[in-house]
Structure formats: C-alpha cells, structure tokens
C-alpha cells in the first residue's frame, strides 16, 4: 500500500490548519477537465505502444471466447505495486511472443477499472496479477475459467510453458491459425511438402533436444513467414537423415528438390535458434506477412491525461502538504463500494463478517453528507439482513440502485492530496490509507463504541479479503501479527498503531519503483512538519524507523489533521451533498451568539420604551387635527 501524503516544511497546529483551510473551500480553482461527470477511466499499465492487447468489458468476450487461437491474459490491478513491478516483464514477454500472435495472443485486463469489475468477478480472480491461459474454442462455464499460469518465473520458462501448452493442443487440422507443431517422423522424409501451398519454398527443420521446446518455439516464431515452414525434430535418428547431428548441426533447410543444407547453432537457446534461421531468411530476401492484431484503438477510447490540470492540483497540494482532502476520502469509499467489494464472486463466512464490520465502521464514521449517510446506512442494513451468503453481483446492483435513488453521494470524482505526478503512482492506495487514518481518529474522538479494535479489526478484514493487491494484503496481515495489533488497549493506541504500521510500510517501500518522485515515502510526520513529535535526542532520517517519537505529540498532530472540521474541500465539485463547512457553521454560530448573549432585561426595557414612544407619537400627530363638533344640546345648555 502507498505512503502518507507528503509533508513539507512548516509547523502545523490546530490554529494553522483552521486558518489555512479557510482558503481551501470548494470555491478554489480546479481545472474544468477534472471536475464533474463520471470517474475518468484509468489508462492502466499498458497502452497502444506495447505488444499487449488491452481488454475491457466491451471486447473481452469477442477476443477470448470461441476463438481459433489461444490466449494468455493477465488480470491485474493498476494500483497494485506488485502488478506495477511485474508489468515490464509482461511487456517483455508480449514482445518476445509477438511473432506467435496468430497462434497465441498476449492480452491484459485492468480489474481496477469500474467497468471491468463484472469480468474479473465472473472469472473468480482472487489475486493480482493472475495469468490465465485460454485454449482455442474456450467457453466460460461454471468451474472453467481458464488455466492458471505461474507468473513469477523467468521469461524463458514462461515462454517454454506457453510453447508446451500450444503443442499439447494438437489441433492443427481444425485450427487454421496454428502452425504444424507435430514432430517430423521417420516416414516424413519425402512428404515434407505434402499439403503445403506452392509459396512454401523451404521447410526448415529445428532439432529439439530432450526436455526443451526449442523446436516448437522456432515453429511459432516463423509461422508468419509465407515462404517457409519450420518443423521440429525430436528423434535424433530422424534428424540424422537431414544431416542434423544434434551437436554441431541442429538446423537444416530442405527445398522442394530435396536439397538439404545443415546449419550450426551457437547455443541451445530460443534466441540462438531464431538468429540462425533469420540469417538464412535474410539471405533469401524473405519477409513476414503483415497481420492486424486487436489493439486498444479497435474498441477502447484512449484516455488522455490533462497534464495542465494535474499540474495545477499538484502545485496546490505541494503548497499545502499537511491537509487531508475530502476528495481523497470519497475516492477511497467509491473504490470500495463500486469496485473492490463487488468484485468478490460470493461473500460468505469470515469474508461476510469482514464486510459487515467494515460497513458498520463506515456508517459510524464516514465523511459523507446526509445523502451519503442514508446510502451507507441502507447498504449496511442490506448486508446485515443477508442470509449466509451474498453474491458480489447482487451487492453491486444494490449499491448502484441506492446511489441512483438517494444520490449523488460524492462531491468529487478525482484525487487531490493523493494525486500522482507520474502515471499509476499513488492514487487509490494513498486514499485508502487516508481513509483508514480518518476512521481511527473519528473512533477515538467520538467514542461511540466501547471496542478499541473496532476500526482496526474492520481494516484487517477488508485488507485480507477484499483489497486488490495480494502482496500488500499478505504484508499487512504479517504486520498485524508481529506488531500485536490484537493487543491494542484503547482507541488512542489504535490511532498510533495504524500510524506506526504505515511508517513501517513507507520504510519498506522507500525508493521502490512504485514511489512517486514528487511524493516520497517518508517517516511521517517529518521533523519540519511537527518538530515536537520528535524528542530532542532523536536522529531524523527519512527512511529509517529508529526515530525517538513523542507519541503524545504525534497523537495530537494526527487528531488535528484528521479533524472533520479541517478536512480540505479544495477540488470539491458539489459541496451541496456534504455537511455545512466549518466556515458556514462559524457564520451561523456568530449570528446565534449575538442574540444569545443579549441581556433579557435590557430587551424588555427597550420593548417598553418603544411602546411609550408609539403612544406619544400617536398623541402628537394623530390627535393634532381633531376638532370637537358642537351639538344643539350643548348650545341650549349654555343659554
């Protein structure tokens, strides 16, 4: 999992945060390209420049099912650090096997993309990266989701594995895209060209030593060359008929007149075999035929990063490196509800209990507004009322229905504090850590539950059963054991346990290929951020964990920066769905205080004074023009 948001020089305190956040409301400028609308699709770990065919829900079935060639598919998660480290190896494999593309297509699908959730769930992908081999004519059905392939092996071993699987298909008669992978037999000496079209001028024989796939790989490597056909020879006695002795000469060419020319090979490797055959083909001025491979442009709209918009956010975050952002908290919840939790094929037993615990914690301490609160509450009730088992597809349908009925519940759809300066860095893992810290702090602040482990237990269950980075999950579980997470005595210690665990992860991944250069993984908080968090005898290093921390100061610091009133709303697009901000509440409070502090007796005196003044005014102005009319009995009385 990723690091804390980067922290820079400057003393951070409660007042500093309060003052600073007054300028970071939803009124801050965010590039239009990064505001509103649905979540932009991720580019993934591969693009059109790679030899990897990119799959999505839109083209998966058409590319995988009922095909007359085989397929190797990597199911991966963009944010998974291990997937990021594996991507260069998979690209190298795709490059190496690209000449095999009519027989074996190398492809990948990003399970982190929301639209691909159903595909990854249907194929029961439980770990990342997962490699699956699909035979020609494959059809998905219960219990049949492709053949598992070991991903973490050397490139040569993986290529050999694919060659063995293709050779085992033995369907060259019914599969027009397959080369002839049968070994040349004793009776094939004079029938090598039988059944071949007239364009085939040579048959090239490649000797395949025992326990190797060099012959199969050579046949696949040059399948697209229309002037030749490469065949493999296993039997040394048969090979001798073509002047191949298995020691000096391991390759031979045979023309239609039966002329045989043997060739030596520098070493028993696929590259050496290919180099020998290529030199012959170049001498003959032969060229491979061009083919079209399914690519990203055929079915997927390319995602173009808004570099200027991303740069604006990065500059804003680097100027305010201490803040926790509403957008990041929401992106973590969005990914959980709409991607990771629905990805499970069937949720039951301990996995269902873990889901219930996480939803209970979210309902108590989430950072969403009233509509979000209603949706989380109803999702929680839905899961609690579930019997022993819950299908991921049903959970996804319920979440989408509730979001449509009571939504919108999210105020933004992009990362801010967890923005990346390089593609596929930070993002979700950073936001998930941010959300976890936020939840532990809210549990400690509000103390609505007596269980000191309520949040840590929920986090542990979520990471164990749902988090889409297998190695990250394993590391976290190991860390929970050796750091004795289950012995945490109170909620303040839970806040500190997660903080220390995060720093351990930062220390392990500092300098890793997955690290974003603008946001290095440091021991948080930095000395310049919180000088009081380190005791005077502490030696500061950015990559070691031997810092003498003042844990009381650290706890205070963590509670301050994760205080809901001080969560930055920079980048928020729809503030109406959130609770009123601190500034708005402060304005209401100021108005209320003016009247609540007014002396009631003075109010009554002023009220009485106003009544007297109204009477005087009436006497002076309303009665001024009044004249009494003389009546007859008054006149007679005077007489």
Place 471 in a pLDDT band, splitting at 50, 70 and 90: confident
How is 129-156 classified by DSSP, letter by letter? SEEEEE-TT---BTTBS-EEE--SS-HH
Mean pLDDT of 62-76: 94
pLDDT of 555 reads 95
- List, in order, residues 6 or more apart from 140 with CB less than 8 Å away: 64, 65, 122, 123
pLDDT of 433 reads 94
Place 293 in a pLDDT band, splitting at 50, 70 and 90: low
Contact predicate 463/526, CB 8 Å: no
What's the rounded Cα separation, in Å, for the pair 465 and 474? 10
Burial 175-213 (b: 16+ CB within 10 A, else e): bebbbbbebbeeebeeebbeeeeeebbbbbbbbbeeebb
**Superfamily covering domain 14-28+31-36+304-566:** ERV/ALR sulfhydryl oxidase domain (1.20.120.310)
Across the chain, mean pLDDT equals 83
**pLDDT over 80 at 54, yes or no:** yes
Range scoring the smallest mean pLDDT among 78-82, 140-144, 319-323, 424-428 = 319-323
Sole residue written with tokens 């173009």: 304
Distances (CA, A) of 463 to 221, 273, 458, 521: 43, 47, 9, 20
Question: Which of 24-38, 72-86, 527-541, 567-581 has maximum average pLDDT?
Answer: 72-86
- Return the higher-pLDDT residue of 236 and 546: 236
**pLDDT over 50 at 527, yes or no:** yes
Range scoring the smallest mean pLDDT among 98-102, 127-131, 526-530 = 526-530
**pLDDT over 50 at 120, yes or no:** yes
**pLDDT over 80 at 272, yes or no:** yes
pLDDT of 604 reads 67
Based on the number of CB atoms within 10 Å of its own CB, is 173 exposed (0-12), middle (13-18) or buried (19 or more)? Answer: exposed
Taking residue 123's Cβ as centre, other Cβ atoms within 10 Å add up to: 19
**pLDDT over 60 at 632, yes or no:** no
CATH 3.40.50.970 fits domain 186-283? no
β-strands 249-255, 260-264 pairing? antiparallel
Q: How many degrees, rounded to 5, is the angle at CA 347 between CA 476 and CA 409?
A: 80
Residues in the chain: 639
- Return the higher-pLDDT residue of 12 and 608: 608
pLDDT of 625 reads 52
Domain ranges of the chain: 14-28+31-36+304-566, 53-169, 186-283
Percent of the chain with pLDDT over 90: 56
Terminal-residue alpha carbon distance, the chain: 115
pLDDT of 573 reads 87
Range scoring the smallest mean pLDDT among 56-65, 73-82, 282-291, 314-323 = 314-323
- List, in order, residues 6 or more apart from 346 with CB less than 8 Å away: 389, 390, 391, 392
Pick the CATH number of 53-169 from 1.20.1260.10, 3.40.50.720, 3.40.30.10, 3.20.20.20: 3.40.30.10
pLDDT of 585 reads 52
Place 615 in a pLDDT band, splitting at 50, 70 and 90: confident
Range scoring the smallest mean pLDDT among 65-74, 151-160, 280-289, 465-474 = 465-474
What's the rounded Cα separation, in Å, for the pair 530 and 527? 5
pLDDT of 537 reads 63
Contact predicate 82/468, CB 8 Å: no
Order the strands of the 53-55 sheet from edge to edge.
53-55, 104-110, 70-76, 130-134, 147-149
Question: Which of 188-192, 501-505, 529-533 has maximum average pLDDT?
Answer: 501-505
Mean pLDDT of 203-231: 95
β-strands 147-149, 130-134 pairing? antiparallel
**pLDDT over 60 at 378, yes or no:** yes
Q: How confident is the model over 557-607, as pLDDT tens digits?
A: 999 999 998 898 988 888 888 887 656 555 544 444 444 444 456 666 776
**pLDDT over 80 at 32, yes or no:** no
- Domains 53-169 and 186-283 equal at CATH topology level: yes
Range scoring the smallest mean pLDDT among 158-167, 295-304, 537-546 = 295-304
pLDDT of 135 reads 93
Mean pLDDT of 117-129: 91
Range scoring the smallest mean pLDDT among 241-250, 412-421, 499-508 = 412-421
pLDDT of 501 reads 94
In degrees and rounded to multiples of 5, residue 516 shows phi and psi of -85, 125
pLDDT of 231 reads 95
Contact predicate 545/507, CB 8 Å: yes
pLDDT of 3 reads 52
How is 553-569 classified by DSSP, letter by letter? HHHHHHHHHT-GGG-B-
Place 304 in a pLDDT band, splitting at 50, 70 and 90: very low
Mean pLDDT of 379-398: 93
Q: How confident is the model over 159-182, as pLDDT tens digits?
A: 999 999 999 987 555 677 788 999
């Amino acid at each position: 999992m990723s690091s804390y948001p980067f922290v820079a020089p400057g003393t951070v305190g409660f007042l500093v945060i309060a003052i600073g956040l007054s300028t970071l409301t939803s009124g801050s400028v965010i590039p239009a390209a990064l505001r509103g609308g649905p979540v932009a699709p991720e580019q993934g770990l591969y693009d059109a420049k790679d030899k990897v065919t990119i799959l999505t829900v839109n083209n998966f079935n058409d590319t995988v099912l009922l095909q007359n060639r085989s397929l190797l598919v990597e199911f991966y998660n963009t944010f998974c650090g291990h997937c990021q480290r594996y991507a260069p190896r998979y690209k190298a494999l795709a490059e190496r096997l690209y000449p095999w593309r009519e027989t074996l297509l190398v492809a990948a699908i990003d399970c982190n993309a929301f639209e691909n959730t159903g595909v990854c769930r249907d194929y029961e992908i439980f770990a990342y990266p997962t490699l699956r081999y699909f035979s020609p004519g494959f059809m998905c059905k219960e219990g049949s989701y492709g053949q598992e392939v070991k991903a973490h092996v050397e490139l040569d071993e993986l290529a050999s594995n694919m060659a063995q699987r293709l050779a085992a298909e033995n369907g060259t008669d019914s599969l027009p895209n397959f080369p002839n992978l049968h070994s040349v037999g004793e009776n094939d000496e004079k029938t090598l060209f039988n059944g071949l079209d007239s364009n085939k001028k040579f048959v090239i024989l490649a000797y395949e030593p025992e326990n190797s796939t060099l012959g199969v790989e050579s046949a696949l490597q040059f399948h697209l060359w229309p002037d030749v056909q490469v065949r493999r020879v296993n039997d040394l006695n048969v090979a001798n008929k073509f002047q191949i002795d298995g020691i000096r000469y391991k390759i031979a060419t045979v023309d239609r007149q039966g002329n045989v020319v043997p060739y030596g090979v520098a070493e028993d490797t696929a590259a050496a075999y290919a180099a020998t055959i290529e030199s012959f083909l170049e001498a003959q001025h032969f060229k491979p035929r061009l083919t079209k491979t399914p690519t990203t442009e055929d079915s997927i709209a390319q995602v173009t990063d808004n570099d200027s918009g991303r740069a604006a956010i990065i500059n804003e975050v680097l100027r305010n490196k201490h803040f926790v952002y509403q957008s990041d908290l929401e992106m973590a919840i969005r990914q959980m509800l709409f991607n990771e939790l629905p990805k499970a094929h069937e949720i039951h037993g301990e996995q269902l209990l873990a889901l219930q615990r996480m939803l209970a914690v979210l309902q108590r301490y989430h950072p969403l507004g009233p509509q979000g609160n209603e949706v989380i509450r109803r999702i929680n009730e839905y899961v609690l009322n579930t019997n022993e088992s819950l299908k991921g597809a049903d959970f996804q349908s319920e979440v989408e229905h509730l979001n449509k009925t009571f939504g919108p519940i999210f105020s933004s759809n992009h990362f801010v504090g967890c923005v990346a300066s390089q593609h596929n860095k930070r993002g979700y893992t950073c936001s998930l850590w941010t959300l976890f810290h936020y939840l532990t702090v809210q549990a400690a602040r509000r103390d609505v539950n007596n269980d000191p482990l309520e949040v840590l237990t929920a986090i542990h269950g979520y990471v164990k059963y749902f988090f889409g980075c297998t190695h990250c999950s394993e590391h976290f579980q190991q860390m929970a054991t050796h750091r004795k997470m289950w012995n945490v005595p109170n909620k303040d210690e839970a806040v500190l346990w997660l903080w220390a665990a995060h720093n351990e992860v930062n220390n392990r991944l500092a300098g890793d290929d997955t690290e974003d250069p603008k946001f290095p993984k440091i021991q948080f908080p930095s000395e310049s951020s919180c000088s009081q968090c380190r005791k005077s005898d502490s030696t500061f290093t950015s990559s070691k964990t031997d810092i003498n921390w003042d844990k009381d100061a650290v706890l205070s610091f963590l509670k301050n920066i994760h205080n809901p009133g001080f969560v930055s709303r920079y980048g928020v697009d729809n503030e109406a769905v959130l609770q009123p901000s601190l500034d708005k509440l402060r304005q209401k409070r100021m108005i209320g205080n003016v009247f609540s502090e007014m002396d009631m007796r003075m109010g009554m005196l002023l009220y009485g004074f106003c009544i007297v003044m109204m009477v005087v005014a009436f006497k002076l102005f309303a009665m001024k023009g009044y004249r009494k009319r003389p009546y007859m009995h008054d006149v007679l009385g005077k007489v």
